[in-house]
Amino acid sequence: MKHDLETMYSVKGKVIVISGGSGGIGSGFARALLDLGATVVLLDHNEESLRRVSGELAACGAPVDTQTANITDYSSVEESFAQIYHRHGRIDGLVNCAGINIVKSLADLSADEYEQIIQVNLLGTVFCSKAASKYMLNAHKGRIVNISSLAATHGKPNYTAYTASKAAVNGFTFTLATELARKGITVNAISPVLIVTDINRNQIQNDPAYFENVVNMIPAGRVSEVEDIVGLLVFLLSDSSAFLTGQNIGCDGGAQNGDVGVIKPESYSA
């Protein structure tokens, strides 16, 4: 068997839908996938940011398709994927990237706010996966990548809803992977560590010590950029990852399995 990098890790010609596609991470993913020759559909409920991001991408010579949908409403999601399929004739990959957070203690978080976080982060992921996998099942091929979080496995104050939603996304990932493993469809999660975007900008501005503490606990000694995750995403969307499914992969400068918040690596240098 002959190997070449271009076919092994290619997303060229694949139709990839990114939920939350006009957000900080989703739009960065879109740019990279467009550069690599994929057809990208940004799905988001925020029409204004969809217009802004698609305009910016088009201005860089990377035209992108957009789809407005509220991922907490299954009928809107089902109809949106039907429209995407109608326009492109296939759906090869889904990146579940839409997400929200409200940073409050359980005492202060209202029942509605708790529910909202679970609805977007968990049910939105479930609904998009259900709608997209219908087309992948017909094609006997597909890739689903869920953007989870280090927070799924690392509890921290004021994150009860976010952490629970992302831990549930991990469980959903492991289980859906077993359902689809014999159908040519892989389901994996990527867990990033902090990347500065709209989801956390206010928290970072209001509490600079928070940012510093996060940096201090990451073995790599810095927060993440979207670019840090792109290579892993491309691999998970490519044909080369066909036997890799049901995984939650931390792409986080080493933070998933260790932190350096207490003992700094330099303490041991000779």
Q: Which residues bind ligand NAD (CB under 6 A)?
A: 20, 22-26, 44-46, 49, 70-72, 97-100, 120, 124, 147, 149, 192, 194-195, 197-200
Q: How far is the C-alpha of 20 from the C-alpha of 42, rounded, in Å? A: 7
Residue whose tokens read 């689809």: 180
Nearer CB in complex with ligand NAD: 91/98: 98
Nearer CB in complex with ligand NAD: 121/133: 121
Q: How far is the C-alpha of 166 from the C-alpha of 255, rounded, in Å? A: 16
Nearer CB in complex with ligand NAD: 20/142: 20
Answer yes or no: are the C-beta atoms of 191 and 153 closer than 8 Å.
yes
Count of alpha carbons within 13 Å of 52, Cβ hemisphere only? 9
CB of 80 to ligand NAD, least distance (A): 10
Count of alpha carbons within 13 Å of 53, Cβ hemisphere only? 28
Nearer CB in complex with ligand NAD: 142/250: 250
Answer yes or no: are the C-beta atoms of 125 and 169 closer than 8 Å.
yes
Nearer CB in complex with ligand NAD: 133/149: 149
Rg of the chain (C-alpha set): 19
The dihedral sign for the CA sequence 248, 254, 260, 261? negative
Q: How far is the C-alpha of 135 from the C-alpha of 81, rounded, in Å? A: 9
CB of 46 to ligand NAD, least distance (A): 4
Nearer CB in complex with ligand NAD: 15/71: 71
**H-helix or E-strand spanning residue 9:** none
Shortest-Cβ-distance residue relative to ligand NAD: 23
CB of 12 to ligand NAD, least distance (A): 25
The dihedral sign for the CA sequence 99, 105, 107, 108? negative
- Sheet of 185-192, strand order: 65-68, 39-44, 15-19, 93-96, 142-147, 185-192, 248-251
The angle subtended at Cα 125 by Cα 122 and Cα 128, nearest 5°, is 145
Q: Is 9 a catalytic residue?
A: no
User: Which residue is catalytic, options 74, 159, 162, 268?
Assistant: 162
Catalytic residues: 162
